[in-house]
Amino acid sequence: MTIPPILANKNPTLASVFAPAALLREARRQKGLVALDVPAVCILDPDGDLVRQLRKTGAAKPFEAWPCYHTELDQFELADQTVGIVGRAVGASFAVLVAEELFACGCKLLISLTSAGQIVPAGSPPYFVVIDRALRDEGTSYHYAAPSEYAEADPELVRPAAAALTQRGPLSVVGATWTTDAPFRETAQAIEAARARGLLAVEMEAAALYAYARSADARVLCLAHVTNTMAQAGDDFEKGEADGTRDALAALEAIIRALQNR
């Protein structure tokens, strides 16, 4: 084997035979759904904490016309507008599948907020990282972009988002992360290699979402909520009040306000 299958027969410039619009068309037919645009701003919540809290308080309502086979779309009010949110879209391939469907249904800005493990400390967890680039240690991004070390964020999204968090949001930094497909294969050697690169955290979605965004000219911003040291010291995975949803919503509101007119 000279080229591994993950890199073989990839041409990101060619159109896919299977398109999200076709899948959604058939889902609507089978489910008897009308075609309605989703909210212009949508959020991916891989942990599902935000969705659970919003449903618990009655703030979130289902978007009944969402035709996805795999997920549910809720909507709630944030930053003086109706925002969509999908919970538990964990991992690169699942996150991009949902992102493709959201943009096919009218989404204009997608923000992913995922929990992450600390690599290079930027403070004591929990805190937020506005991800400006992500190491491509997953498989999905190679279907959307030619091989490279990193998938880059759109700086026109990163700069105002970072400024908004500095002014109004909880503790945050800007930096790079490591996107992995295998969270339980974070060996000491791999962690040290990530640390040597100056990577702030490890997560599971950003590289693929950024590669997709560049290929589709879609507006996607990824945040890492650094909540843990991979259970290596003390009480870990503590997000803060209400499973971190208070700080997360404050961060998201500040970012949406900063980006909504851009």
Looking at residue 193, its pLDDT comes to: 98
The full set of domain ranges for the chain reads 22-259
- Are 126 and 201 contacting, i.e. CB atoms less than 8 angstroms apart? no
pLDDT above 90 (res 232): no
pLDDT above 70 (res 233): no
Strands 201-203 and 172-180: parallel
> Which pTM value belongs to this model?
0.96
Using 50, 70 and 90 to split pLDDT, how confident is the model at 158? very high
CATH numeric code, 22-259: 3.40.50.1580
Looking at residue 230, its pLDDT comes to: 81
pLDDT above 90 (res 231): no
Looking at residue 75, its pLDDT comes to: 98
Rounded CA-CA distance 112/130 in Å is 10
Beta strands in the chain (DSSP E): 41-45, 61-62, 73-78, 81-87, 109-118, 127-137, 150-152, 172-180, 201-203, 220-228
Sign of dihedral through CA atoms 187, 188, 193, 194?
positive
The pLDDT of 176-184, averaged and rounded, is 97
| DSSP-assigned beta bridge partners for residue 227 | none
Looking at residue 240, its pLDDT comes to: 66
- Reading phi first (left if > 0) and then psi (alpha if -120 to 50, else beta), residue 46 is in alpha
Element (H, E) at 245: helix 245-259
Question: For residue range 114-139, what is the model confidence (pLDDT) as tens digits?
Answer: 999 999 999 989 999 999 999 999 99
